[in-house]
Structure 1
């Protein structure tokens, strides 16, 4: 029977998931996603390969599970920020931008934001099972509230606008991944750019 780490089975599983996240991160720094096998991940995490299959049936399933787990704190933080109707929409949106870019520095999530991580991103499911879908939904709600209150201009298609603005967020995350010292400046620039795109046009009501 494998040795149990931690004070309980639950704590043991959390420690293993943390090891798996770090193993994937390290391997992605060394080789392309397609070159990484479940055997590589198990070896780097210090697990027997058959033990790894207790956590995920294959590599795509493992990536989905790791991303979902790692993104929970960000999703909870974004939801808490969005659920503050007394706070101006622009302030909430600026804080959401910061929350997402801060999450991009998390070692477990950072591979998702690395340049050239297309194959890795492709493993994350589309639709409601995507861990970032909840974040997008919260942003759309904040933008709609801002439009209703006259804080933002009427952009027409809110979903499309948020999708386009999310490109700026990803670009910011990739920049931070390349230059960690540029974190604060990148957050400010992303906030300014996104809020400028939503600002009311002068002279129009």
Structure 2
């Protein structure tokens, strides 16, 4: 009988699962999504590959667990930044600033690596669903602002944010990037 490292078997299993997801996240950040395999993740977590299958029946299930872990901290930080901000233009401003600051903190790396990965269709669908939920506060604020063609405007704004995030991840100064994006938006959205 294997030893358990917790008061109960359920607690031990929960801890093992968390360790595997953490190891998969580390693998993603170090080597990319393609490197997430039961063998690699098990090795990083100190478990045999066969033990990984007790918690995740496939590589896709392991990647899906990483996706589910990657988005909630980001969404929580965005919600905090938007809390109490009523005016649509001010919400856009707060969303942009929070997004770019979170990116500067390195908190977009996991999601960014996943967005660019070759993933199974069901995993890609879930990733798209979580990404849409993350961007919905921005889209809603743009719609409430009353600009012409708000869906197109929100998509274009998303493109600007993606470019700004890539610039920050590539070494651009976060403060300068935040100011530049806000200036561009003020001119276009009248904010």
Q: Does the pair score TM above 0.5?
A: yes
Structure 1: 5+ residue runs without aligned partners?
Answer: 148-153, 201-205
From the superposition, tell whether residues 146 and 138 of structure 1 become closer, same or farther in structure 2 (CA, over 3 Å). Answer: same
153, 156, 162: which is aligned to 1:161? Answer: 153
Structure having the larger proportion of residues in helix: 2
CA displacement at 1:133 relative to structure 2: 1.3
Which stretch has the larger CA shift, 170-179 or 100-109? 100-109
Checking the alignment, whether the CA contact within 8 Å between 2:21 and 2:65 is kept in structure 1 is no
Aligned partner of 2:67 in structure 1 is 67
- Tell me whether 1:185 sits opposite 2:166 in the alignment: no
CA displacement at 1:167 relative to structure 2: 1.3
Q: Distance in 1 between matches of 2:36 and 2:23?
A: 16
Per the normalisation by structure 1, the TM-score is 0.70
Checking the alignment, whether the CA contact within 8 Å between 1:101 and 1:173 is kept in structure 2 is yes
CA displacement at 1:113 relative to structure 2: 2.6
Aligned partner of 1:22 in structure 2 is 26
Structure 2: 5+ residue runs without aligned partners?
Answer: none
- Two-structure CA RMSD over aligned residues (Å): 3.5
Q: How many residues align?
A: 187
